[in-house]
């Protein structure tokens, strides 16, 4: 009963005109962010952090979280119309959504994506509301050793579950950890990796690195192909814009299964909603009575994955609110924003900041309704933004990046770091080094170090403290399994096939 009374209190805060305005602004920017290819939610949130400095914590957080789940709605638009996913989690939607558009069913596919997103977003918020307070109480059983192992598990999972080379994912993780270590060691007051540069003694700002690794590489790569694609043509609508009775019949199951799967996958630290959409597509194809239609315009191939990636957002917020562990790269950035406002995500938040958290949860219910109203009638208007020339669009992104970073400390040295890390990010993207592990490691690095040192201090240097308690022992075994099992499976498989294993093979088995 306390949960629902707290929710009513949250609605009382969230239904004020000021909060509603910021919620609407957040979901609108999120929708536009999802529609525009190359500008994901993490880039949009990073760019808007300087603007949120002077805002009230409730207004700022509701707006920025609205961008997160709003971008999941918008990402399906370009995936369906022009086979260009606006967000990573919408990649799977291109498989059948674009085929439906070619068959004159673009409106029906877009409706299925919007309705599925609304259902999944609402159900995942309900799961967040019911599960988060329970996990917050259970989290008090976690000591510094358990937190250290949880962070190691999150880093291990985000590296092993990244598509492509597992070795490159681990290198990206180490790169993020190395950036996190720059500056003065808070325990010994010794400068680390500052190379005698006074500007590096305070460390490297997370927002700077987030903008550099995501906005700059995307702008450079899109501007570099101006000769091949100066504009992006929009697929014209044909037929009805609404789902038929048959579409509803075939989509109800995928909506429910995708919502459940997406929420569960989202709760796992370090995974995020992208994996959920891929798993949902595979599950729907296996369960379908007509698997041969997948890849040729099956509406289940749109309904299931779109529900899964939206439900993953609510799931990803659970470990952030309860354990202080980001569930994805975007929630890693949100974790920084909470700390920027003087709050530490974790089990104490529901006791220390209950009004704020319940207002955020209530605003997510409201935001999902706003998104449904925006996406159903106005999807054609949003899609027309793709007619903008690519070069001016991304020149604007570069200009916004410079203004945002300079506004943090008003320091020209930060601009040198911005473009230096931007070039590194461009090279990483060019050679298929994933950026998400680096962002996760950058945020979690200080927490990893603090909990590691605290654990050894409490145990008087005894390393067995990481295996003594039941929870820490289980976490250690899971970490061991995540690392070793894919290697063993790959070695066994390649031994039977008689070929030399590669790190990509290992990552595939993971």
pLDDT bracket for residue 136 (50, 70, 90): low
pLDDT at 75: 73
- Count the domains in the chain: 1
DSSP annotation of 289: S
The verdict on residue 396 lying in a domain is yes
* φ/ψ (deg, to 5) at 191: -65, 140
How many Cβ atoms are within 10 Å of 53's Cβ, its own excluded? 11
The verdict on residue 280 lying in a domain is yes
pLDDT at 230: 46
Higher pLDDT, residue 138 or 118: 118
The verdict on residue 113 lying in a domain is yes
Give the residue-averaged pLDDT of 407-413. Answer: 79
CA dihedral 2, 8, 9, 10 (to 10 degrees): 110
For residues 372 and 15, the answer to whether their CB atoms sit within 8 Å is no
For residue 385, give its domain range: 3-449
With pLDDT > 70 as the criterion, what percentage of the chain qualifies?
A: 82
Specify burial of residue 60 (Cβ count, 10 A radius: 0-12, 13-18, 19+). buried
- For the chain, the average pLDDT equals 78
The verdict on residue 472 lying in a domain is no
The verdict on residue 468 lying in a domain is no
Higher pLDDT, residue 38 or 307: 307
Give the residue-averaged pLDDT of 418-442. Answer: 85
- What 3-state DSSP class applies to 192? strand
Among 100-109, 309-318, 341-350, 490-499, where is mean pLDDT lowest?
Answer: 490-499
Determine the distance from the C-alpha atom of residue 121 to the mean position of all C-alpha atoms in its chain, rounded to a whole number. Answer: 14
Is residue 222 scored above 90 in pLDDT? no
Is residue 289 scored above 70 in pLDDT? yes
Model confidence over 88-115: pLDDT tens digits? 667 678 778 878 877 777 778 888 888 8
pLDDT at 244: 78
What distance in Å separates the CA atoms of residue 470 and residue 459, rounded to the nearest whole number? 16
Is residue 386 scored above 50 in pLDDT? no
Give the residue-averaged pLDDT of 218-239. Answer: 56
Largest CA distance in the chain: 71
Report the b/e string of 206-240 with b at 16+ CB within 10 A.
bbbbbbbbbbbbbbbebbeeeeeeeebebbebeee
What distance in Å separates the CA atoms of residue 95 and residue 390, rounded to the nearest whole number? 24
Report the b/e string of 467-482 with b at 16+ CB within 10 A.
eeeeebeebbebbeeb
The verdict on residue 176 lying in a domain is yes
Among 252-256, 322-326, 339-343, where is mean pLDDT lowest?
Answer: 322-326
Q: What does the block give as tokens for 91?
A: 């990649």
- What 3-state DSSP class applies to 183? strand
What distance in Å separates the CA atoms of residue 148 and residue 469, rounded to the nearest whole number? 13
Give the residue-averaged pLDDT of 152-167. Answer: 67
What distance in Å separates the CA atoms of residue 27 and residue 364, rounded to the nearest whole number? 10
Model confidence over 305-319: pLDDT tens digits? 888 888 888 888 888
What distance in Å separates the CA atoms of residue 482 and residue 157, rounded to the nearest whole number? 7
Nearest Cα to 453, choosing from 151, 202, 179, 135?
A: 151
* φ/ψ (deg, to 5) at 40: -80, 180
Is residue 488 scored above 90 in pLDDT? no
Higher pLDDT, residue 106 or 158: 106
The verdict on residue 484 lying in a domain is no
The verdict on residue 503 lying in a domain is no
């Amino acid at each position: 009963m306390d949960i629902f009374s707290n929710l009513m209190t949250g609605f009382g805060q969230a239904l004020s005109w000021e909060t509603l305005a910021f919620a609407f602004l957040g979901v609108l920017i999120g929708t536009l962010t999802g529609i525009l290819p190359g500008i994901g939610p993490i880039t949009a949130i990073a760019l808007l952090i300087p603007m949120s400095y002077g805002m009230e914590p409730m207004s700022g957080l509701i707006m920025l979280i609205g961008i997160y789940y709003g971008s999941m709605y918008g990402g399906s638009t370009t995936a369906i119309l022009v086979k260009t996913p606006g967000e990573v989690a919408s990649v799977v939607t291109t498989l059948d959504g674009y085929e439906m558009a070619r068959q004159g069913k673009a409106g029906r596919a877009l409706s299925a994506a919007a309705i599925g997103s609304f259902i999944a977003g609402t159900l995942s918020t309900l799961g967040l509301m019911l599960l988060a307070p329970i996990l917050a109480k259970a989290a008090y059983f976690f000591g510094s050793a358990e937190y250290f192992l949880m962070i190691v598990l999150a880093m291990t999972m985000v590296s092993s579950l990244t598509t492509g080379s597992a070795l490159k994912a681990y290198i990206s993780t180490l790169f993020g950890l190395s950036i996190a270590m720059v500056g003065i060691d808070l325990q010994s007051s010794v400068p680390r990796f500052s190379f005698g540069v006074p500007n590096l003694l305070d460390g490297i700002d997370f927002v700077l690195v987030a903008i550099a690794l995501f906005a700059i590489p995307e702008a450079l790569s899109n501007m570099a192909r101006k000769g091949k694609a100066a504009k992006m043509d929009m697929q014209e609508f044909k037929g009805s814009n609404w789902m038929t009775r048959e579409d509803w019949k075939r989509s109800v199951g995928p909506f429910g299964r995708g919502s459940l799967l997406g929420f569960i996958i989202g709760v796992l630290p370090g995974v995020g909603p992208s994996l959920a959409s891929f798993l949902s597509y595979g599950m729907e194809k296996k369960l379908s009575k007509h698997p041969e239609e997948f890849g040729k315009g099956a509406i289940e191939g749109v309904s299931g994955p779109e529900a899964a990636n939206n439900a993953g957002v609510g799931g990803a917020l659970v470990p952030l609110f309860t354990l202080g562990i980001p569930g994805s790269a975007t929630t890693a950035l949100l974790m920084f924003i909470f700390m920027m406002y003087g709050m530490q995500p974790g089990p104490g938040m529901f006791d220390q900041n209950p009004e704020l958290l319940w207002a955020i949860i209530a605003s997510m219910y409201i935001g999902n309704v706003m998104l449904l109203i925006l996406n159903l009638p106005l999807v054609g208007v949003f899609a027309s933004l793709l007619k903008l020339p690519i070069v001016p669009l991304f020149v604007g992104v570069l200009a916004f990046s410079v203004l945002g970073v300079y506004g943090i400390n008003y320091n020209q040295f930060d601009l040198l770091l911005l473009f230096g890390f931007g070039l590194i990010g461009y090279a990483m993207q060019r050679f298929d080094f994933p950026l998400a592990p680096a962002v996760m490691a950058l945020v979690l690095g200080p927490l990893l170090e603090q909990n590691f040192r605290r654990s050894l201090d409490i145990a008087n240097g005894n390393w067995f403290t990481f295996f003594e308690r039941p929870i820490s022992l289980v976490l250690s075994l899971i970490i061991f399994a995540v690392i070793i099992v894919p290697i063993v499976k790959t070695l066994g498989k390649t031994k039977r096939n008689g070929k030399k294993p590669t790190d990509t093979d290992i990552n595939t088995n993971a």
